């Protein structure tokens, strides 16, 4: 249920700001809208008629005043749908847009919402509120855009819901090129940043503040009171690249990334919640580069990410770094944070690559350790002993540790110079908030330089009297209900609940294609035993399961044309195929993405099935992406090519799937590209993809493989090949592992097959 109070509050705000609404203009189409904008005067209230507005480019150029804003709003908040090839731009002052829902379309320009109309006309004191943008993606993944781009000064995005961006480019970005956009004091507040799927490579940030080229500029942007949920686009959720930004009181919930001070300096990261689950290692915390940041009053729960994704990752810099690389960390303060059940929360020298000097230019070697950095007054609690609380990838000898305390629930913590061991328990405030009860622990907070400016704690309580270490001065606070979605985003918008799918029984005499097309997302197509002869591709454009009704495998025989797939994986097409025999004519494909316009991700999970006689088992085309591709308990035989995910050859760090999992499968007589999974371009901070090959048997495969390698996974960062048998595969190598990254193998049996080698340092093309 949405919070009515908020709605009233917002209305009140709008009314109270518009002291004198002089004119309400109701518009029904673009032409009326343009006229209304053209004639807008301070105090005007332009009301868009409810309904779908298709292919509209709204250029909101007008001049309101502080006391008499000009508003452009939906007749009913949430009932005005901006669709098709549409966008919105602001030029002027004191303008407000509210209540719009962008969906079923994309922008014709690089922004869905831009706070300028052109280079010479930026917006100031303008606001987007109570709006929604969902899946408003360009058709191709490499056609980058930015949904909301800030220019000018004092603009605001608040109480909006944004989710589902799959193409390249941060969801929200602040631009600082030009003096008209510095010291901007923009506000990004009270928004709900809903799921942003993994992008597969860089350029998937949820918020980016500036760029390295403006990293010397004062931005003074505030990101506060937002809810980030499953923001998994890439390794950086928020990438702060300018100076004096504030990131306060946000909730990062199950988001696969970190808040990163990538460029620029003096960021204040204060009073945020980072909530993980103790299982997913991709949920990160705060990663620090550069000078003068303050990380205070933050709460970390079950964040078990390592290295770049650790709760506190303090990087090594490059001495005298080029502008676009890594400056040394200096003058940073990490104080009054609480870490509960995190893994190795303090990591230093992250990103050190001194060992790779042989393959990297000198200007790439991160050897400059943090200096003049203080870690003080932090509290760590571990239900289960953490043996490596502090990880030093390189020495933390430039870091001053003061008044840090741990209850490690295990053997006494030995590193008492840096963290003092103590006994204390937790107060449960909510499922995810457990606050250390450290009142009994006699540790006086360290009073570092300017620490007196930290006036309140995570809960807003004063630190002036009765100060204490940790994120809160006391362990009994009112439950802040951080997961209550009604507190964030548009008042009128509710994320669709997941509907339980129904089962649709299909027999061999039915038109399988029609049955799939008419099914709803989440439905299960249950196939009676028998032979399903298919001549045209089955279109998968939603989440759907196709499985045999009984143990007896239904047989799908695909007689479609050369290089067309039995299952055509369209945008949103997530196929689960279970317990099915699937065969082709040797020239067509079992599964393939579209060749173009894959405006959203696909997915594939195959289990307990038999696949044979295809040219390709899976063919993923360029600019397509699946979060997961899984084959389990499945035999694949007599195919010209296997699983082909190697089209991202532009070497910009992109790849075609985040997770490729092969478990307990048999590959027989797959002639080439048995597994072909590629990532090109070296970018140390993007950490994918993931290849797991386990308990599988590969026999007589790779005969036609030109590069004489059975499993091709060049550039993939996480590779685990274990418990497999490789027999009679005429290749030189079964695999070449990238030793410097997370590539491992174990317990593999190699009979009359190539070798598995490890190459410590792979020579890669630098991305920048």
Given a contact cutoff of 8 angstroms between Cβ atoms, the answer to whether 112 and 142 are in contact is: no
Given a contact cutoff of 8 angstroms between Cβ atoms, the answer to whether 606 and 581 are in contact is: no
CB of 217 or CB of 245, closer to its own copies: 217
CB of 327 or CB of 724, closer to its own copies: 327
Site for its own copies in 244-273 (CB under 8 A): 264-266
Given a contact cutoff of 8 angstroms between Cβ atoms, the answer to whether 58 and 27 are in contact is: no
Q: Which two tokens stand for residue 317?
A: 């810099």
Helices (DSSP H) in 327-462: which residue ranges? none
Choose the stretch contacting its own copies; rule: CB under 8 A; options: 131-139, 177-185, 186-194, 228-236.
Answer: 177-185
Kindly state whether residue 323 participates in binding its own copies, applying the rule CB under 8 A. yes
Give least dist CB 317 to its own copies, A.
Answer: 9
CB of 531 or CB of 765, closer to its own copies: 765
Give least dist CB 288 to its own copies, A.
Answer: 14
Kindly state whether residue 683 participates in binding its own copies, applying the rule CB under 8 A. no
- The 8-class DSSP code of residue 602 comes to E
Choose the stretch contacting its own copies; rule: CB under 8 A; options: 52-60, 315-323, 633-641, 696-704.
Answer: 315-323
β partners of residue 273: 251, 299
Q: Taking the CB of residue 517, how many other CB atoms lie within 10 A of it?
A: 13
Q: What Å distances lie between residue 58 and 40, 68, 85, 100, 490, CA to CA?
A: 14, 21, 11, 12, 20
CB of 320 or CB of 765, closer to its own copies: 320
Q: Which of 38, 41, 66, 320 binds its own copies (CB under 8 A)?
A: 320
Report the DSSP pairing between strands 690-694 and 657-663: parallel
CB of 116 or CB of 485, closer to its own copies: 116
CA distance 153 to 220: 10
Q: What Å distances lie between residue 480 and 23, 272, 381, 541, CA to CA?
A: 41, 12, 21, 39
Choose the stretch contacting its own copies; rule: CB under 8 A; options: 172-180, 277-285, 413-421, 723-731.
Answer: 172-180
Phi-psi region of 230 (alpha: psi -120 to 50; beta: other; left: phi over 0): left
Give least dist CB 220 to its own copies, A.
Answer: 12
Site for its own copies in 224-243 (CB under 8 A): 243
Given a contact cutoff of 8 angstroms between Cβ atoms, the answer to whether 111 and 73 are in contact is: no
Map residues 448-487 to x or -, x wherever contact with its own copies holds by CB under 8 A.
-xx-------------------------------------
Count of residues touching its own copies (by CB under 8 A)? 32
Map residues 197-226 to x or -, x wherever contact with its own copies holds by CB under 8 A.
---------------xxx-xxx--------
Given a contact cutoff of 8 angstroms between Cβ atoms, the answer to whether 156 and 128 are in contact is: yes
* Cα–Cα–Cα angle for 417, 419, 422, rounded to 5 degrees: 115
CB of 178 or CB of 460, closer to its own copies: 178
Give least dist CB 318 to its own copies, A.
Answer: 9
Give least dist CB 454 to its own copies, A.
Answer: 13
Q: What Å distances lie between residue 709 and 653, 714, 737, CA to CA?
A: 22, 11, 11
CB of 372 or CB of 494, closer to its own copies: 372
CA distance 281 to 478: 29
Give least dist CB 726 to its own copies, A.
Answer: 45
Give least dist CB 181 to its own copies, A.
Answer: 10
CB of 301 or CB of 446, closer to its own copies: 446
Kindly state whether residue 517 participates in binding its own copies, applying the rule CB under 8 A. no
Give least dist CB 277 to its own copies, A.
Answer: 36
Question: Up-side HSE of residue 30: CA atoms within 13 Å toward CB?
Answer: 13
CA distance 519 to 504: 8
Kindly state whether residue 505 participates in binding its own copies, applying the rule CB under 8 A. no
Given a contact cutoff of 8 angstroms between Cβ atoms, the answer to whether 257 and 287 are in contact is: no
Given a contact cutoff of 8 angstroms between Cβ atoms, the answer to whether 709 and 754 are in contact is: yes
Residue with tokens 């988001």: 255
Q: Taking the CB of residue 623, how many other CB atoms lie within 10 A of it?
A: 24
Q: Taking the CB of residue 418, how many other CB atoms lie within 10 A of it?
A: 18
Phi-psi region of 47 (alpha: psi -120 to 50; beta: other; left: phi over 0): beta
Choose the stretch contacting its own copies; rule: CB under 8 A; options: 178-186, 337-345, 375-383, 468-476.
Answer: 178-186
Q: Which two tokens stand for residue 383?
A: 């239900």
Choose the stretch contacting its own copies; rule: CB under 8 A; options: 39-47, 322-330, 460-468, 512-520.
Answer: 322-330
Give least dist CB 333 to its own copies, A.
Answer: 7
CA distance 488 to 161: 8
Kindly state whether residue 321 participates in binding its own copies, applying the rule CB under 8 A. yes
CA distance 86 to 56: 5
Choose the stretch contacting its own copies; rule: CB under 8 A; options: 72-80, 317-325, 531-539, 580-588.
Answer: 317-325
Choose the stretch contacting its own copies; rule: CB under 8 A; options: 61-69, 252-260, 321-329, 583-591.
Answer: 321-329
Q: Which of 322, 430, 708, 751 binds its own copies (CB under 8 A)?
A: 322
CB of 290 or CB of 634, closer to its own copies: 290
CA distance 539 to 551: 25
CB of 292 or CB of 702, closer to its own copies: 292
Give least dist CB 122 to its own copies, A.
Answer: 9
CB of 182 or CB of 390, closer to its own copies: 182
CB of 333 or CB of 604, closer to its own copies: 333
Residue with tokens 């005005």: 80
Q: Which of 327, 337, 347, 630 binds its own copies (CB under 8 A)?
A: 327
As to burial, measured by CB atoms within 10 angstroms (0-12 exposed, 13-18 middle, 19+ buried), residue 24 is exposed
Choose the stretch contacting its own copies; rule: CB under 8 A; options: 46-54, 165-173, 176-184, 527-535.
Answer: 176-184
Distance of CA 291 to the CA centre of its chain: 25
Site for its own copies in 331-370 (CB under 8 A): 331, 333, 363
Q: Report, in angstroms and rounded to the nearest whole number, the Rg of the chain calculated over CA atoms.
A: 28
Map residues 279-298 to x or -, x wherever contact with its own copies holds by CB under 8 A.
-----------xxx------
Choose the stretch contacting its own copies; rule: CB under 8 A; options: 162-170, 320-328, 559-567, 650-658.
Answer: 320-328
* Cα–Cα–Cα angle for 270, 272, 276, rounded to 5 degrees: 145
Q: State the residues that interact with its own copies by CB under 8 A.
A: 177-180, 182, 212-214, 216-218, 243, 264-266, 290-292, 320-325, 327, 330-331, 333, 363, 372, 449-450
């Amino acid at each position: 249920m949405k919070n009515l109070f908020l709605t009233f509050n917002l209305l009140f705000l709008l009314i109270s700001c518009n002291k004198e609404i002089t004119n309400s203009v109701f518009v029904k189409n673009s032409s009326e809208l343009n006229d209304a904008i053209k004639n807008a005067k301070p105090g005007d209230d332009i009301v868009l008629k409810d309904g779908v507005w298709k292919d509209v480019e709204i250029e909101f150029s007008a001049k309101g005043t502080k006391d008499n804003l000009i508003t452009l709003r939906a007749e009913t908040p949430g009932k005005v749908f901006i669709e098709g090839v549409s966008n919105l731009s602001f030029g002027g002052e004191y303008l407000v847009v509210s209540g719009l829902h962008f969906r079923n379309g994309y922008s014709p320009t690089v922004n869905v919402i831009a706070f300028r109309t052109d280079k010479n006309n930026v917006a100031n004191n303008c606001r987007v509120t109570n709006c929604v943008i969902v899946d408003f993606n360009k058709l191709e993944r490499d056609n980058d855009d930015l949904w909301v781009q800030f220019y000018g000064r004092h603009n605001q995005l608040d109480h909006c819901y944004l989710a589902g961006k799959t193409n390249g480019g941060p969801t929200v970005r602040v631009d600082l090129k030009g003096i008209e956009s510095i010291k901007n004091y923009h506000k990004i507040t009270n928004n709900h940043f809903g799921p942003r799927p993994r992008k597969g490579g860089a350029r998937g940030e949820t918020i980016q503040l500036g760029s390295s080229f403006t990293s010397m500029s004062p931005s003074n942007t505030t990101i506060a009171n937002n809810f980030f949920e499953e923001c998994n686009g890439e390794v950086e959720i928020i990438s702060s690249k300018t100076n004096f930004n504030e990131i306060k009181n946000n909730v990062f919930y199950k988001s696969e990334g970190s808040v990163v001070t990538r460029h620029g300096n003096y960021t204040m990261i204060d009073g945020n919640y980072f909530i993980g689950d103790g299982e997913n290692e991709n949920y990160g915390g705060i990663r620090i580069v550069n000078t003068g940041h303050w990380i205070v009053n933050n709460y970390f729960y079950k964040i078990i990410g390592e290295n770049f994704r650790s709760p506190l990752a303090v990087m090594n810099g490059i001495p005298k770094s080029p502008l676009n690389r890594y400056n040394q960390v200096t003058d940073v303060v990490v104080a009054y944070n609480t870490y509960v059940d995190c893994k190795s929360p303090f990591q230093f020298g992250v990103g050190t690559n001194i060992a790779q000097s042989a393959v990297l230019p000198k200007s790439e070697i991160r050897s400059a350790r943090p200096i003049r950095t203080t870690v003080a007054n932090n509290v760590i609690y571990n239900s289960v002993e953490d043996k490596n609380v502090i990880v030093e990838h390189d020495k933390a000898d430039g870091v001053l540790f003061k008044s840090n305390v741990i209850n490690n629930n295990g053997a006494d913590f030995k590193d008492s110079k840096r963290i003092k061991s103590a006994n204390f328990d937790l107060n449960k405030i909510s499922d995810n908030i457990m606050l250390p009860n450290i009142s009994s622990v006699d540790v006086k907070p360290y009073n570092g330089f300017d620490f007196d400016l930290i006036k309140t704690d995570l809960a807003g309580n004063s630190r002036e009297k009765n100060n204490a270490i940790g994120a809160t001065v006391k362990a009994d606070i009112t439950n802040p209900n951080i997961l209550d979605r009604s507190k964030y985003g548009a008042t009128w918008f509710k994320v669709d609940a997941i509907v339980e799918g129904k089962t649709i029984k299909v027999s061999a005499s039915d038109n399988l294609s029609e049955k799939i097309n008419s099914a709803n997302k989440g439905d299960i197509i249950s196939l009676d035993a028998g032979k399903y002869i298919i001549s045209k591709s089955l279109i998968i454009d939603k989440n759907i399961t196709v499985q045999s009704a009984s143990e007896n495998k239904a047989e799908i025989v695909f007689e479609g044309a050369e290089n067309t797939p039995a299952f055509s994986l369209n945008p949103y097409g997530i196929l689960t195929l279970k317990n099915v025999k699937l065969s082709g004519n040797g020239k067509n494909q079992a599964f393939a993405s579209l060749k173009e316009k894959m405006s959203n991700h696909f997915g594939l999970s195959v289990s307990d099935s038999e696949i044979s006689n295809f040219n390709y088992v899976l063919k993923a085309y360029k600019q397509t992406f699946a979060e997961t591709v899984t084959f389990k308990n499945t035999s694949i035989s007599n195919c010209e090519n296997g699983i082909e995910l190697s089209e991202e050859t532009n070497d910009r760090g992109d790849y075609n799937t985040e997770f490729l999992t092969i478990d307990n499968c048999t590959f027989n007589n797959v002639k080439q590209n048995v597994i072909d999974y590629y990532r090109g371009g070296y970018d140390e901070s993007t950490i994918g993809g993931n290849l797991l090959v386990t308990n599988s048997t590969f026999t007589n495969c790779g005969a036609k493989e030109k590069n004489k390698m059975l499993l091709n996974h060049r550039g993939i960062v996480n590779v685990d090949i274990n418990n497999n048998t490789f027999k009679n595969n005429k290749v030189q190598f079964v695999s070449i592992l990238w030793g410097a990254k997370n590539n491992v193998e174990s317990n593999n049996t190699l009979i009359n097959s190539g070798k598995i080698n490890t190459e410590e340092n792979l020579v890669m093309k630098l991305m920048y």
